[in-house]
């Protein structure tokens, strides 16, 4: 809960980005569709990402601002960052320790070797997909950058709700969540036939507790 709260604070901080997303949808579509994202246990899922397919972004990458994936208190902040294809992301280090941010995701493998403060340059995310971020030093740090190719991207709120703006029917959309049991690169496709409210279910798995090995290691050392 604490982490989710913290993530939300980060999101609030970057309100303008959300405002931007909302702006896109309002200008492009006339109908608002209420979407609720739930898991297999009928629990609402916040931070699910819904993308309406085949609507490439009207903006050019050059116009896109540089997104920021900060590292605060040995956490990526925000945990989930949605960027558009070709957008730059900066990885500042707000901690007073060094981090070694890396990703082995196909969409953008990279690593920023031990640094503190500001890395030399922001990184451009050319390919759409999910980029999982880790820190080689701090195994518990996990972050996600969702690289969207559609201009219509939404994230569910705390109630798992998303208001989609759709002009014409039917439209194809996809949904993704970091805890989904399907492979991380998979996006669940669904069609929207009408303005009727829609409920989408995603199978999730509970995130593994942090620092599993530590205790075991200590035990293993006989302590």
Partner 1 sequence: MGNNLRSRITTLCVGLVLLTTLVSLLSFWWSTSKFQAEKVQQNITVAQSVYKQYLKSKEGLLLTAAKVLTADFGFKQAVATRDAATISSVLYNHSQRINADLMLLLDLSGRLVSANVNAQNFADNLQPLMDELLNNSEQSSFVVLNNQLYQVILLPVKTPRTIAYSLVGFKITSAVATELKSLTGMEVSFVAQLDDFATSSLVSQPDNFQPITYFTNKTTARFFAEYLAYENEQIALPSLQSHPITLLLSADLTSSYRDIEQLLLTLITLAVLTMLFGVITSSLLANNLTTGLSQLAVIARQFAKGDYRFKFEGKKQSSEIETLVNAFNNMGNDINKREQQISFQAHHDTLTGFYNRSAMLDLLAKRLTNDARYTLVAIDIKGLRHINDKLGPQVGDGCLIAVANRIRQFSDELGGFHARIGGDEFLTVYPCAEVEQVKCAVADLLKQLQLAYKVKNLKISLRFNAGIVQYPEQGTKADDLMRRVLIAVDAATTSQQSLHYYQDGEDEAHLDRLIMLDELKQAIDDDNGQLFMTYQPKLNIKSQKIDKVESLIRWQRKDGGWVSPEVFIDLAEQSGLIVELTAWVVETVIAQIADWSKKDIHLQAAINVSAQDIAHSGFHASLVATLNKYQVNPSSVTIELTERDMIENEAQGIKALEDLKTIGVKISLDDYGVGQTSLGRLKMLPIDELKLDKCFILTLHESQKDQYIVRSSITLGHQLGFSVVAEGVETAESLSMLHEMQCDHAQGYYLSRPLKAQQLEQWLEEYQRVH
Binding site for partner 1 (CB under 8 A): 102, 104, 109, 132-136, 139-142, 184, 208, 212-213, 216-217, 219-222
Residue 159, both tokens: 């109630």
17 vs 184 by CB, closer to partner 1: 184
Q: How far is the CB of 88 from partner 1 (least distance, A)?
A: 23
Q: How far is the CB of 86 from partner 1 (least distance, A)?
A: 23
C-alpha 95/C-alpha 3 separation (Å) is 16
62 vs 209 by CB, closer to partner 1: 209
Q: How far is the CB of 134 from partner 1 (least distance, A)?
A: 3
- Contact of 27 with 189, CB cutoff 8 Å: no
* The CA-based dihedral angle spanning residues 7, 147, 106, 156, taken in that order and rounded to the nearest 10 degrees: 50
Q: How far is the CB of 64 from partner 1 (least distance, A)?
A: 27
Q: Is 48 helix (H, G, I), strand (E, B) or coil?
A: coil
33 vs 101 by CB, closer to partner 1: 101
18 vs 142 by CB, closer to partner 1: 142
Q: Is 126 helix (H, G, I), strand (E, B) or coil?
A: coil
Strand partners, 131: 145
């Amino acid at each position: 809960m604490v982490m989710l709260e913290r993530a939300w604070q980060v999101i609030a901080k970057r309100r303008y980005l959300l405002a931007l997303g909302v702006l896109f949808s309002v200008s492009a579509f006339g109908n608002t569709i209420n979407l609720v994202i739930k898991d297999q246990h009928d629990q609402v899922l916040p931070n699910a990402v819904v993308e309406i397919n085949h609507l490439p972004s009207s903006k050019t990458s050059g116009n896109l601002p540089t997104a920021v994936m900060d590292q605060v208190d040995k956490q990526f902040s925000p945990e989930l960052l949605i960027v558009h294809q070709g957008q730059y992301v900066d990885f500042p280090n707000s901690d007073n320790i060094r981090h070694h941010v890396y990703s082995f995701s196909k969409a953008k493998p990279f690593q920023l070797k031990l640094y503190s403060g500001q890395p030399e340059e922001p990184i451009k995310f050319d390919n759409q997909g999910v980029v999982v971020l880790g820190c080689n030093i701090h195994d518990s740090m996990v972050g996600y950058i969702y690289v969207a190719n559609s201009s219509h991207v939404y994230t569910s709120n705390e109630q798992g709700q998303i208001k989609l703006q759709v002009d014409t029917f039917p439209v194809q959309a996809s949904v993704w969540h970091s805890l989904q049991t399907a492979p991380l690169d998979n996006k669940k496709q669904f069609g929207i036939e009408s303005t009727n409210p829609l409920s989408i279910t995603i199978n999730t798995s509970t995130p593994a507790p942090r620092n599993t090995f530590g205790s075991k290691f200590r035990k293993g050392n006989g302590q």
